[in-house]
Every structure is written in C-alpha cells, then in structure tokens.
C-alpha cells in the first residue's frame, strides 16, 4: 500500500474539517472517492459513478491538493478519473509499464532520489552544457569515464537537479545498481551519530554499520560538500569512504559551491582526490535559458491552462537572473496570487511585479528577510510554508518551526511578536519559548549545531 493510500482516510478527514464540509456533501462527493493509482507525483482518484468528474474537480481539486501536501509533506498533482476514462483502461503493456515505474520509484526512494529531477526536465544552456554533458557521460558509464565528477556553481543553479538526474538515469538502466544520494549534512549527522553510539557501546557496531553502508555502494552522490569542511572526524570518514569506493572503481559525484582549489578549509589530500576526475561548473543562465526554463516548468507542471503570455514570462526572466530556484519561485508565486484573486482577468505584468517583490530588491541583491529564512528552512526540511505556519504539533513540523523562530530572531531585528504573526499567529511567549529551546539545545547537541551552521550558510552564502 502506498503512503497516499495509507493516509487517505486522514487526508479526507482533514479536508472535511478544514473546509467545514457538510456531512451530506462529504458523504456524497468525498467519501466515495478511491485512489486508483499513484504514479510519480500524480494521484489518480476514481470518482464514483453517480458523481460528475468535472464538478468534483472544480470544487475540490485545489483544497484536496493542499490537504495532501499538508498531510504528506509532499506536493502531488490530483487527477480525477471516471471508470470509463481511457487513462484507467491500461493495455497489457501499460500495466507492465506501471509496475516497472513503481519498481523504479521504490528504488529511487531508497536511493533518496527525487524522480522529478531527470535529464528530460533539465534545460541545457550555455551556462551548464559542459556540466550536463559530463553528467550524462557519467550516467551512461558509471565508474568508467570521469571519476569523481565534481560539479560546482552558485546557489540554486541546478547542481542537485543534475545529480538526481544521474542517479535516476543509472537506476532506470540498471535497477540492481546500488545508488545513494546524500547531502553532506546527512552524511555528517550520520558520522556524529555513529561516533556517539560508538562511545556508549563497546562493540562500536554503529560505526561498522555506517562503514558497511557507505562502502558497498556503486554510485555515491554527495551534495554540497562544502558543508562537511572544517569537521575533522567527518572529513576523515569521508576520505576513507572515498578511497574505498574509488579503488573499487565505483562512481562518486560531488557538488559544491566552489571548485576544490578555492575551498580553503578542505584538507589537501581531499582536494587532490577531487581534482583527479573531472570538474565542471554551472554558471548563471542567460535570458534565453531562463525563458526556456520557465516554459519547461509550465509544461511539466501543467500550467498551460493559465495562458501566461510571453511578455509576462519575459518580465520574470529579465528580472530574476541569478538563481533558478527563485525563477521558479516567482512563477509559483504569480500563480498563487492569481488563484487568490479568484482567477479573474488575465495574468499580467502588474500581477507579475507583485509576485516578484519578494524575489528582487533594488540591486537584485538578496537581503536576509524573515521570508527568505522561512523559505530556506521549508526547503531544507521538505515541508510546505503553510505547514510551517500551521498549528500542527508533529515534530516534523514543530521542530523546523522552532528553528525558524530562533533563526529569524538571530538573523533579523524582528521582535518575537512580529515573528509570531509571521508564523501564522503564534503568541509572543510561544515564539520566545521556541527560540530559547533551540538556543539551549545548541549547547549540547552537535547534530543540531551542524544543521544550524548549514542553514546559516544557506541563508547567507557570502
Ligand atoms: N537547467 C535547468 N533546467 C530546469 N530546471 C532547473 C535547471 N537548473 C535548475 N533548475 C531548477 O532550479 C531549482 C534549483 O536547482 P537545484 O536545487 O538543483 O540547485 P543547486 O545548484 O543544487 O542549489 P543549492 O546550491 O542550493 O544546493 C530546482 O527546482 C531545479 O529543478
């Protein structure tokens, strides 16, 4: 049973309470809905024979999408289908294809790979063509051509996307390959945990399990290596992992914000290892590439129905220049604003300029604002901003929320009261308690210190 099916009763209950759906409506429209299938980021929902797909789509598609994201912490497209819909009468081959896709999906989950990041969805421009072709070569012949492959470039320019594309490509061609994508934060935290467990248990089983896990991999992708730098024990562990994998001709792919020689605190022996393979950089995209990326995103996310005109896209592409994550964020914000305004009229430049307000400051320089901190925390923990601002108490949400309280307080001059308002109406004492708790835990908890250090570098990379 997929996680979506497992959580379905909770999702519709959440929909019922959040949207105050009357029981007659709930029983007529929502209760009979069943999950037909979940493929990648799309949930196919079967509508009962007495209901109209169009009606349910119009009325409940968006609220349901939001509830799914809130409960599962992941966004899905929702597609309603009726029993006689062509899409659910698969031929023999499509059943096979579906099963194959499901198998690949579960392998990708194990490898920590996001299925949406593939070479097909990556737009190639002058800024990234070398990194792209090197990545493709590595994906086609892992361990054979460029080892290690070292990708570097500024924030939000597609390094992670390319790494996942390599991993997904390899798994698609060879489902038996042992692929593992890991951020250097996760790697560091695993080292810290294994060392801690080793100190309390004499057999040091945690450390040997850690080594066993990392040294039996065929393809190791390690993202944002700059964050392990300066931590002796982690560098040491990484050095040994690297050597073992390299000697066994296993593929290693590393990303960083700088080339190895410019990472000052990187140990010389690691620097020279990284320089043994191929180093490829990604720079900021030019205008044409930015336009192509916006168009690709419209295609992938099925946003054609908003009929966004070229002049509006061009306005976004001309103003958001140096970070593709922000380019995508501007488009999402534009659509969110349009929906909030009851979808009236056309999406025009005036609306686009409102959407861009948070993304560009006068000199196109990024300021450390509370909103930026919230965006970074949500992305880091893979949760939605709505969830962060909600009143949910589960630790997956409440912990990042407390981190937000702490970091906004530390990094901006916003008072507790203002932070509370920004975080969905929390009161002064809740915010103070959250921020104080993180400050206190930081003194004892090395893993938390590592995480906060990384978040701070993401907030202000300079
Ligand atoms: N060439 C591209 N084509 C399509 N989408 C892209 C491209 N480059 C980046 N993106 C998108 O931009 C967003 C940010 O990219 P990504 O997370 O890969 O950046 P990054 O370089 O790893 O950033 P960070 O330094 O923060 O780790 C992602 O949603 C990604 O899909």
What pLDDT, on a 0 to 100 scale, did the predictor assign at position 103? 75
- Average pLDDT of the residues in 92-118: 78
Q: Which atom of ligand 1 is nearest to the CA of 132?
A: 1
Structure confidence at residue 126 as a pLDDT band (50, 70, 90)? very high
Bridge pairing between strands 251-256 and 149-153: parallel
Assign 211 a pLDDT band (cuts: 50, 70, 90).
confident
Query: Which segment, 138-142, 203-207, 325-329, 391-395, is predicted with the most confidence on average?
Result: 138-142
Hey, whose CA ends up nearest to atom 8 of ligand 1? Answer: 158
| Distance from residue 122's CA to the centre of ligand 1 (Å) | 9
For residue 257, give the ligand 1 atom closest to its CA. 25
Each residue's pLDDT tens digit, 358-397: 676 555 556 788 988 998 899 888 888 889 999 988 899 9
Distance 156 CA to ligand 1 centre (A): 5
- In the chain, what percentage of residues exceed pLDDT 70? 92
Among 153, 156, 110, residue whose Cα is nearest residue 135: 153
Q: What is the DSSP string of 359-394?
A: T--TTSPPP--HHHHHHHHHHHHT--HHHHHS---S
ipTM above 0.90, yes or no: yes
Report which protein residue has its CA nearest ligand 1's atom 7: 158
CA of 287 to the centre of ligand 1 (A): 16
The span from the CA of 132 to the CA of 166, in Å, is 10
Radius of gyration of the chain (CA): 23
Which whole number is the average pLDDT over 157-173? 95
d(CA 205, CA 211): 10
Residue nearest to atom 13 of ligand 1 (CA): 325
Ligand 1 pocket, 290 CB below 6 A? no
Please report the pLDDT score of residue 418 as a whole number. Answer: 92
Residue in 216, 237, 224 with CA at minimum distance from that of residue 453: 224
Q: Looking at per-residue confidence, does 198 or 58 come out higher?
A: 58
**Does ligand 1 lie within 6 Å of residue 43's CB atom?**
no
- What are residue 282's DSSP bridge partners? 153
Cα–Cα distance measured from residue 424 to residue 256, given in angstroms and rounded to the nearest whole number: 35
Write down the pLDDT at residue 343.
63
Expressed in angstroms and rounded, the spacing between residue 266 Cα and the centre of ligand 1 is: 25
Is the predicted pLDDT of residue 431 greater than 70, yes or no?
A: yes
458 — pLDDT class (breaks 50, 70, 90): confident
Closest CA to 257 of 109, 150, 98: 150
Q: How far is CA 48 from the centre of its chain?
A: 34
pLDDT band at 94 (very low <50, low <70, confident <90, very high): low
For ligand 1, is residue 293 a contact (CB within 6 Å)?
Answer: yes
CA of 327 to the centre of ligand 1 (A): 10
Q: Is 159 in the pocket of ligand 1 (CB under 6 A)?
A: yes
Q: What local confidence, expressed as pLDDT, does residue 116 receive?
A: 87
Confidence of residue 115 (pLDDT cuts 50, 70, 90): confident
Q: Which residue has the higher pLDDT, 61 or 229?
A: 61
40 falls in which pLDDT band (50, 70, 90)? Answer: confident
Residue 40's φ and ψ, nearest 5 degrees, are 50, -120
- Reply yes or no on whether the pLDDT at 90 is more than 60: no
pLDDT digits (tens, 9 = 90+) for 12-21: 999 999 888 8
Mean pLDDT of 204-217: 84
CA 374, 150, 156 angle in degrees (round to 5)? 25
Q: Which helix (H) or strand (E) holds 350?
A: helix 349-356
Give the annotated binding-site residues for ATP. Answer: 156, 158-160
Beta bridge pairs of residue 175: none
Asked if 179 and 113 count as a contact pair (C-beta separation under 8 A), the reply is: yes
Q: Are 424 and 404 in contact (CB under 8 A)?
A: no
| Percentage of the chain exceeding pLDDT 90 | 44
158 lines ligand 1 (CB under 6 A): yes
Ligand 1 atom nearest 458 alpha carbon: 26
With a 6 Å cutoff on the Cβ, whether 459 touches ligand 1 is: no
The residue that leads in pLDDT, 462 or 241, is: 241
What pLDDT shows up at residue 366? 62
Phi (first) and psi of residue 175, to 5 degrees: -60, -15
- For residue 50, is pLDDT > 70? no
Distance separating alpha carbons of residues 312 and 305, to the nearest angstrom: 15
What pLDDT is stored for residue 321 in this prediction?
Answer: 84
pTM value? Answer: 0.72
Residue 155: CB within 6 Å of ligand 1? yes
**pLDDT higher than threshold 80 for residue 98:** no
Q: Please provide the average confidence, as pLDDT, over all residues in the chain.
A: 87
pLDDT, tens digit (0-9, with 9 covering 90-100), for 282-307: 999 999 999 999 999 999 888 888 88
- For a substitution probing ligand 1, which of 323, 324, 326, 375 has the most ligand atoms within 8 Å of its CB? 324
Ligand 1: distance of its center to the CA of 7 in Å? 30
């Amino acid at each position: 049973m997929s996680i979506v099916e497992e959580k379905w009763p909770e999702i519709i209950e959440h929909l019922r309470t959040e949207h105050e759906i009357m029981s007659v409506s709930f029983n007529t429209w929502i209760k009979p809905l069943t999950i037909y299938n979940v493929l990648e980021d799309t949930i196919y929902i079967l509508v009962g024979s007495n209901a109209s797909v169009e009606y349910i789509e119009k009325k409940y598609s968006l609220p349901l999408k939001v509830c799914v994201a809130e409960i599962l912490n992941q966004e899905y497209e929702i597609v309603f289908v009726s029993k006689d819909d062509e899409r659910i009468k698969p031929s023999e081959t499509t059943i096979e294809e579906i099963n194959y896709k499901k198998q690949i999906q579960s392998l990708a989950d194990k490898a920590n790979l996001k299925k949406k990041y593939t070479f097909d969805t990556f737009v190639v421009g002058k800024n990234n063509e070398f990194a792209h072709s090197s990545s493709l070569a590595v994906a086609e012949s892992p361990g054979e051509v460029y080892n290690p492959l070292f990708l570097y470039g500024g924030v939000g320019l597609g390094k992670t996307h390319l790494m996942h594309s390599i991993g997904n490509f390899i798994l698609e061609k060879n489902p038996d390959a042992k692929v593992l994508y890991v951020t250097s934060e996760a790697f560091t935290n695993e080292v810290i945990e294994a060392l801690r467990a080793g100190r309390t248990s004499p057999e040091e089983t945690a450390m040997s399990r850690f080594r066993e896990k990392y040294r039996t991999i065929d393809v190791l992708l390690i993202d944002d290596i700059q964050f392990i730098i300066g931590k002796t024990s982690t560098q040491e562990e990484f050095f040994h992992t690297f050597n073992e994998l390299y000697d066994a001709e296993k593929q290693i792919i590393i990303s960083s914000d700088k080339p190895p020689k410019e990472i000052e605190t990187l140990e010389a022996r690691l620097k020279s290892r990284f320089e043994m393979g191929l180093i490829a950089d990604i720079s900021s995209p030019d205008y044409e590439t930015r336009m192509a990326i916006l168009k690709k995103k419209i295609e992938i996310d099925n946003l054609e129905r908003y009929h966004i005109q070229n002049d509006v896209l061009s306005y976004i592409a001309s103003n958001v220049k140096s970070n593709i994550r922000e380019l995508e964020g501007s488009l999402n914000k534009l659509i969110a604003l349009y929906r909030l305004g009851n979808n009236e009229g056309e999406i025009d430049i005036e609306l686009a300029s409102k959407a861009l307000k948070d993304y560009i400051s006068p000199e196109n320089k990024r300021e450390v604002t509370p909103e930026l901190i919230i965006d970074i925390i949500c992305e880091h923990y893979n949760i939605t901003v709505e969830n962060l601002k909600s009143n949910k108490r589960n630790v997956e949400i409440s912990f990042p929320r407390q981190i937000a309280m702490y970091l906004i307080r530390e990094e901006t001059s916003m008072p507790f009261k203002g932070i509370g308002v920004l975080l969905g109406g929390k009161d002064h004492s809740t915010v103070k308690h959250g921020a104080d708790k993180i400050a206190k835990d930081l003194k004892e908890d090395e893993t938390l210190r590592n995480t906060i250090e990384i978040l701070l570098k993401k907030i202000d990379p300079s």
